Amino acid sequence: MKKRKFASEYKVKLVLEVLRGERTISEIAAEHEINPVQLANWRREFLEKAPAVFDSTHNERERRRAERENAEDEARMLKTIGQLTMERDFLLAARSKSAERGLL
């Protein structure tokens, strides 16, 4: 027997129908030719994962905040690297001029 695949949208539609409580799982499963146990499993999985919908908003905000902080840190480090590079180049040039004049 070939295992059937169901789209997420279809599963959600049936689970919401179950949660409305207007008909039993068995009635809905029979109408859609699905095993009632499978429909009950979809309902259980749906309810278990429901809190993640609200957590994902928080997690997304936290991710964006962390990305912004990382970008700010990177900008600060690049600025510091640029400043140190300029100072090094200035000191190398000054040393070179001193050496040409015989001061070293």
In a domain, 1, yes or no: no
pLDDT tens, N- to C-terminus, the chain (104 residues): 678 899 999 999 999 999 999 999 999 999 999 999 999 999 999 999 988 877 777 788 888 999 999 999 999 999 999 999 999 999 999 999 988 887 66
| C-beta separation of 14 from 34 below 8 A | yes
The alpha carbon dihedral of 37, 23, 32, 45 has a sign of negative
Does this model's pTM top 0.75? My answer is no
Domain residues for the domain of 29 are: 8-100
Helices within 1-104 (DSSP H only): 8-20, 25-31, 36-100
Total domain count, the chain: 1
pLDDT at 103: 66
pLDDT at 4: 86
In a domain, 3, yes or no: no
In a domain, 2, yes or no: no
In a domain, 84, yes or no: yes
